[in-house]
Amino acid sequence: MSGQVFAALLEIVRQIPTGKVATYGQIARMAGMPRCARTVGYAVAGCRDPSVPCHRVVDRLGGTKAAFDVHAPGT
C-alpha cells in the first residue's frame, strides 16, 4: 500500500471526535475504499504519531485490538 493511502486513512482517524469511535469498515468507506477495512488496520497498527487517536478505531463488534487495549495482558 502507498504511504499516501495510509496518510489519507490516518487523516480520517484524526477526525474522530473525542468520546466517539469508528469501525475499520466505516473508515474504509469514508475513504472511498469500502472493501479495504484490513488496510485501515495496517495503517492504524503502523501509526506511531500520538496525534492520531488510533484507540478510537474498533472492530465491527466494538472491540479494540490488544495494541490499544489498556486491559490487555502485557500492556
Is residue 52 helix, strand or coil? coil
Domain boundaries, the chain: 3-68
Give the whole-angstrom CA distance, residue 23 versus residue 40.
Answer: 9
Query: In this predicted model, what pLDDT tens digit does every residue of 20-74 receive, in sequence order?
Result: 999 999 999 999 999 999 999 999 999 999 999 999 999 999 988 776 655 555 5
CATH topology for 3-68? Arc Repressor Mutant, subunit A (1.10.10)
60 contacts 40 by C-beta, under 8 angstroms: no
DSSP state of 62: S
37 contacts 6 by C-beta, under 8 angstroms: no
Tell me the pTM.
0.84
Q: Are strands 57-58 and 22-23 parallel, antiparallel or unpaired?
A: parallel
